[in-house]
Amino acid sequence: MSTAVTKVQAQEFNMNAMEPPEAALHYTAGALSKESSVIVDIVIPDNWHVNANVAADEFLKPSSIEIAARGIEFGEPVWPEPIKEYNEVLEFENLVFKGHFQIKIPVTAVADGYDSLTTNATFHYQACDNSICLAPASVDIRIGSRSGIGASGLKKNDDGADPGTAQELNGFAGNEGFAGNKGAAAAALLLFFALLGGIILNLMPCVLPVLSLKLFSLIKQAGESRKRLLALGLSTTAGILASFWILAGIVAAIKAGGGAAGWGMQFQSAGFIAFMAIILTAFAMSFFGVFEIWLPGSATTKMDAAGHKSGLVGAFFTGALLVLLSTPCSAPFLGTAMGFAFTASTPVLFLFFTAAGLGLALPYLLVSVFPAVLKVFPKPGQWMVTLQKVMGVLLLATVAWLLWIVNEQAGGMGVALFVGIILATVVFSFALGKFAPPGSSFAGEMRILIIGAIAFVFSWFAYFAPQYEQNLNERFEARMAQQVLEGGWYRYSPELVAEFAKAGKTIFIDATADWCLTCKTNEAAVLDREEFRKAMDSAGVVRMKADWTRETPEVNELLRSMGKSGVPAYAIYPKGDISKQVVLPELLTTGLIMEAIP
């Protein structure tokens, strides 16, 4: 072996390491068959190359690729023609790949029940420049996503974050946290995004109904002592954090079981929507004066103590309700941060959820610490009775929104089921007000009412839930079978993306859900307007909707490729090229979208 070769090997772990190559894979257009192929796109960073699939010398490691998918068999990969390049340091002509190149892998067999979304590949390579060769390495590639970091040529989001930030962090995040200065800096930035996104979440459409509760609570507390205000603020914060931690625990459990978790996923569950309808209806009935939420006691001192505790308990559950209603919306900055958190280890997941919770709670904490802000509110008086009823109407409007979601998902039968649940809640509220007024002993009556309510809900769901779920699935499958939607939109599918990419079409993708209020706001303000449609048509842009109302593997993969954990999420594929995906912020304008189109 020459002296030059020894010098190269001695520098294998030189700190001037090449960043992992960008990598993406997709199937050729059309129905999957023996005639199909997988195309793997590899982009090597500037001033570097990798050895070809045939090594020019025994000490060099040749490139190779492995691929697997459920129900699909693959043939031998077809590699591009290698570049012959004389290396003065190595003193021989090497065979290399550099820049952008493609590997074609033929499909040899397709079994019944195959799942192309499980396609995974691993590209093994050894990187070299003109003076050193690094230790062999590999990069994993999943269908519908970009692997690697330092995505050259990709536009940054409007919030300043690179669309590849989440993927970049995956190279530095381990089970114990973040490694390296670059990973720590990127993690700190995303953690700040989670905090900032939590603050902005207070202004998102989904949270506004519960903000009416909090506004009314703040007005009532205007005359409280500073100590009392601080206790109420901390109780609200505790409710917010507890809910975020419960959600984080559910996400961690789903991930541990191999499932797909996402921000706002609970709104895909009919049971959760029913729970929210019951809670909001009960709150509205309380605001109308039908019954009063309180903790009973047998003496005046105990009643005072109960009232004090009730205020803290009410603040806690108001905080919890804020979280439950805020999760169907993804705020600016929050989507990018949570997109990484949902792919990270469990401790990192809890850390990011805590940061988002503190952001959501921060305005209430500040009011508690600086009570002078409450002086802008008028003193409590008779006018608050009217305001309280207005708040009740707003909460019932939220219940109406939930019924609209149910109608979109399951039709009239589903609405009838939920109307029955809501009416049962109203009856229960009147019964509670009649049999359990404040200041009376009502232990026996409460037990009867609670047992009756549980029996009613259980029997209702035992009879109707199977029919509801079957109807919901049938309607959703029918929706997914539609390729062309109203207004010139196409239903998203990786196969359709591949077809339009083959035709050289630029694609705009809207990942949405029926239960996402921010999505609906963007649709009303921008995406459904004639101005937007004409702008897209004149630019020759294909518009696609990815429906996440119910969980689907295809949309899960799409969101993961965008570095997002929930909806809304928007992306542009210039000329259908998924490797140059441009991710847009959660709040849109027509001008912003047009500026992002190359």
Q: pLDDT-derived band of residue 218, with 50, 70 and 90 as boundaries?
A: low
Q: Which amino acid is at 577?
A: D
Are 475 and 505 contained in the same domain? no
Distance in angstroms (rounded) separating the CA atoms of residues 149 and 167? 7
Q: pLDDT-derived band of residue 10, with 50, 70 and 90 as boundaries?
A: very low
Query: How many domains is the chain built from?
Result: 3
Over 60: is that where the pLDDT of 275 sits? yes
User: For the purposes of burial, counting CB atoms within 10 Å of the CB of 128, is it exposed (0-12), middle (13-18) or buried (19 or more)?
Assistant: buried
Over 70: is that where the pLDDT of 298 sits? no
Are 300 and 388 contained in the same domain? yes
Over 70: is that where the pLDDT of 53 sits? yes
What local confidence, expressed as pLDDT, does residue 333 receive?
Answer: 62
Q: Is residue 427 part of a domain?
A: yes
Are 492 and 360 contained in the same domain? no
- Find the range with the poorest average confidence among 37-46, 136-145, 516-525: 136-145
Last residue of a domain, one of 95, 116, 148: 148
Q: pLDDT-derived band of residue 459, with 50, 70 and 90 as boundaries?
A: low
Angle between helices 346-369 and 334-341 (to 10 degrees): 140
Are 325 and 224 contained in the same domain? yes
pLDDT higher at 524 or 551:
524
Encoded tokens for 181: 């200065």
Per-residue buried b or exposed e for 340-365, using 16+ beta carbons within 10 Å of the residue's own CB: bbbbbbeebbbbbbbbbbbbbbbbbb
Residue 352 near residue 252 (C-beta atoms within 8 A): no
- Find the range with the poorest average confidence among 137-146, 294-303, 433-442: 294-303
Single out the residue of 328, 3, 339 nearest to residue 163, CA to CA: 339
Contacts of 254 (CB under 8 A, 6+ apart): 260, 261
pLDDT higher at 77 or 406:
77
Are 448 and 507 contained in the same domain? no
Q: Is residue 180 part of a domain?
A: no
Are 363 and 454 contained in the same domain? yes
Q: Is residue 341 part of a domain?
A: yes
Q: Is residue 171 part of a domain?
A: no
- Percent of the chain residues topping a pLDDT of 90: 13
Q: Is residue 185 part of a domain?
A: no
What local confidence, expressed as pLDDT, does residue 263 receive?
Answer: 65
Contacts of 374 (CB under 8 A, 6+ apart): 218, 219, 221, 222, 229, 367
Single out the residue of 348, 405, 403, 418 nearest to residue 520, CA to CA: 405
CA 520 to chain CA centroid, nearest Å: 16
Alpha-carbon dihedral sign for residues 551, 555, 558, 564? negative
Last residue of a domain, one of 88, 117, 148: 148
Per-residue pLDDT reduced to its tens digit, 19-32: 889 898 888 876 78
Q: Is residue 106 part of a domain?
A: yes
- Percent of the chain residues topping a pLDDT of 70: 67
Over 90: is that where the pLDDT of 319 sits? no
What local confidence, expressed as pLDDT, does residue 171 receive?
Answer: 33
C-alpha neighbours within 13 Å on the C-beta side of residue 473: 5
Per-residue pLDDT reduced to its tens digit, 231-269: 888 888 898 899 889 888 887 877 666 555 566 666 777
Mean pLDDT of the chain: 74
Encoded tokens for 536: 């897209």
Last residue of a domain, one of 114, 148, 182: 148
Q: Is residue 61 part of a domain?
A: yes
Are 194 and 278 contained in the same domain? yes
User: For the purposes of burial, counting CB atoms within 10 Å of the CB of 527, is it exposed (0-12), middle (13-18) or buried (19 or more)?
Assistant: buried
Q: What's the predicted TM-score (pTM) here?
A: 0.51
Q: Is residue 552 part of a domain?
A: yes
Can you tell me the mean pLDDT for 445-468? Answer: 64
pLDDT higher at 90 or 126:
126
Are 123 and 18 contained in the same domain? yes
Alpha-carbon dihedral sign for residues 557, 408, 320, 225? positive
Are 19 and 114 contained in the same domain? yes
Are 194 and 120 contained in the same domain? no
Task: Determine the structural domain holding residue 251 and report its residue range.
Answer: 190-479
Residue 442 near residue 309 (C-beta atoms within 8 A): no
